[in-house]
């Protein structure tokens, strides 16, 4: 019945009649009765309605007495607006324009927020073990938008960094102790995330750790390469690598800048912005197990030598008293 009413409202009497005839075959007697009543109404002939049954209002723009436009309407009618000047078809900005805008915004952010200093701590606590930590300081006491974007990117990538905002524009990230392969992969992903949040494309760094086991000790050789030529326009950026107290200047080679020790005895290697930086570092680590084993062997040899000397002197083997 609702469908028939809808067809009647839309003025489609043919569909309303066909639907109503189908309802007359319904099993429900009440619905059949209502359908027949409605069908009688639909099939009834339409009567012409006299024009006197409707009231017609005169057009407001015309005076009904003389058939001319009203003066009041002429006074209120405003002139049409002038046509818009031709501007041509609208075009989307090119990709180079977006890159230029991002670069300018990043540059302005760094310049207006003061100098930025990034200190990367790197240490080798054991065989095939690497510890890394980053400290990002805005040096202005204010948190940079890039710092927030970088911390959000690290959390979104689910990297094993512990991110902590210490306040006053200081951001600290620290990774757990990992082997050299995992540490190299983590460093590459982190540098990529830092460049992406700054609107730059940075080459992947190189971190290699080679070890040679000599039983009594372990010789470790570390190679670190960072290509910062993409940051040539960011002159206010300062990046340094801190190697800790166990590093020695005699076994370290760096370029283009030379490493030096600070007041705390830590070896600091400042990176040169706009250049390719390279660091080679080797150290010797004694093995407690190897040194202990060697000491036991030496003591056994010494004991055997003394026992042989005793026999040669005629004292014989030591005996219990009778």
Q: State residue 275's pLDDT score.
A: 92
Report the distance separating Cα 118 and Cα 202, nearest Å.
16
Residue found under tokens 């951001």: 171
CB-CB neighbours of 132 under 10 Å: 20
Q: Is 34 left (phi over 0), alpha (psi -120 to 50) or beta?
A: alpha
Report the distance separating Cα 155 and Cα 169, nearest Å.
19
The 10s digit of each residue's pLDDT in 261-296 is 888 878 899 999 999 999 998 888 887 888 888 889
Q: Which residue positions in the chain have pLDDT lower than 50?
A: 72-73, 110, 112-114
Q: State residue 114's pLDDT score.
A: 44
Report the distance separating Cα 287 and Cα 293, nearest Å.
10
C-alpha of 209 from chain center: 28
First to last CA, the chain: 129
Report the distance separating Cα 69 and Cα 60, nearest Å.
9
Q: Within 13 Å, how many C-alpha atoms sit on residue 282's CB side?
A: 9
Pick from 220, 218, 219, 215: nearest CA to 290 = 215
Pick from 212, 224, 200, 215: nearest CA to 279 = 224
Q: Where are the alpha helices (DSSP H) in the chain?
A: 2-10, 13-23, 29-43, 71-76, 95-112, 145-157, 180-197, 288-312
The 10s digit of each residue's pLDDT in 194-220 is 989 888 889 999 999 998 888 888 888
């Amino acid at each position: 019945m609702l469908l028939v009413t809808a067809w009647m409202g839309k003025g489609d009497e043919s569909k309303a009649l066909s639907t109503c005839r189908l309802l007359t075959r319904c099993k429900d007697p009440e619905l059949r009765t209502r359908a027949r009543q409605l069908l009688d109404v639909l099939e009834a002939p339409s009567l012409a309605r006299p024009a006197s049954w409707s009231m017609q209002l005169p057009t407001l723009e015309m005076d009904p007495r003389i058939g001319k436009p009203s003066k009041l309407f002429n006074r209120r009618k405003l002139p049409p607006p002038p046509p818009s000047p031709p501007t041509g078809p609208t075009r989307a900005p090119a990709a180079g324009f977006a890159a230029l805008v991002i670069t300018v915004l990043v540059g302005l952010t760094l310049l207006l927020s003061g100098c930025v200093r990034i200190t990367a701590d790197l240490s080798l606590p054991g065989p095939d073990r690497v510890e890394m930590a980053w400290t990002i300081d805005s040096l202005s006491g204010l948190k940079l938008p890039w710092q927030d974007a970088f911390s959000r990117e690290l959390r979104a990538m689910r990297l094993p960094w512990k991110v902590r905002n210490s306040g006053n524009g200081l951001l600290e990230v620290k990774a757990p102790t990992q082997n050299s392969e995992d540490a190299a992969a983590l460093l590459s992903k982190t540098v990529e995330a830092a460049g992406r949040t700054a609107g730059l494309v940075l080459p992947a760094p190189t971190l290699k750790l080679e070890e040679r086991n000599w039983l009594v000790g372990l010789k470790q050789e570390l190679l670190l390469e960072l290509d910062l030529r993409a940051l040539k326009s960011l002159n206010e950026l300062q990046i340094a690598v801190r190697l800790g107290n166990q590093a020695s200047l005699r076994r370290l080679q760096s370029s283009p800048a030379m490493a030096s020790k600070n007041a705390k005895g830590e070896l600091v290697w400042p990176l040169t912005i706009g250049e390719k930086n390279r660091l080679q570092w080797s150290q010797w680590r004694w093995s407690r197990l190897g040194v202990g084993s060697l000491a036991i062997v030496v003591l056994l040899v010494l004991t055997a030598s003394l026992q042989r000397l005793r026999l040669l002197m005629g004292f014989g083997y030591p005996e219990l008293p009778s």
